[in-house]
Structure 1
């Protein structure tokens, strides 16, 4: 439950990062389904759509040229090149959401997280998702059946470097059980929503209360 009824609050940026296959996308979807106060940030990318993905819903699928134009105009909060493709977060929809007291969920890597923190460090909450083991991570990647074997191998090779950035995050979740991990993620979100600096009307609320005592 939020404090919006009494004091109002500024939204927050909830960042989930992990090596590919650790479960951040599954956790993101589960959180979005269970919490109406948070929405997914829609990133722009130059990679081709995967089966079932929709432009404007899953990603904004852009040409490399159009992506470069947006980047040069400073229209991204963060951007990075990952596995040969560019990814970026358009700034305006995120800033509008935060100002209106809505939270925004980010499924991005450590590079994007660093840039996002530099841009909006006061708004960001960083959570890193770890797999229970390297063997489990490889099994999950193979079960997805979305990428060819050479891409799976590349993702495994990169996982060690990605995991080494865990110390840059505020919270760590070891995702062995999705329900347990979702409960931990929701607890983090509830606590962060109650942070004093996010309660935009708190001073007036307390002032009015004291005047009536």
Structure 2
């Protein structure tokens, strides 16, 4: 989690001007509910159940996103969250995003699928998701400490690894500047599917 927060800070510094705050404000209450549910789930579930649950959720989200993209004549604009259907979708994805990010730090794929389905372009996608995960991940710290997921030894490991976050961020910025919107979306979906399969096949 501390490594993710370090990456979030770099992403916010890079894409902060492109965030869509109306979308963020509508997501946060649902995400908070999902984080609480995820915390309760972690207190009872073993690792196998956690991996299977998250893997299935990610595969379903990816399949739903691909299906919607193929059946829709055109993607909705980001301000579509102001409609009733848009609000319901935002809340549903928000709860799932909060749950998956608390249970396995895997909320990124869920929220990526939501932002793609809402019609966000590349920079809007990155700016909105950067702020979203910085705020959500920081809010998860007390829960993770309480569950024993963050302690002295883990922080020492994070301190040793954080130096590698910066080269990764620079590589990501370089790549984003050189790929078009269609390839960007395909890579996001492919990464979600691969992450889900990794969880299910471990």
TM range (shorter): 0.3 to 0.5
**Larger relative CO (CA 8 A, sep 6+): 1 or 2?**
2
TM-score of the pair, normalised by structure 1: 0.31
Larger fraction in helix: 2
Larger fraction in strand: 1
Greater Cα radius of gyration, structure 1 or 2: 1
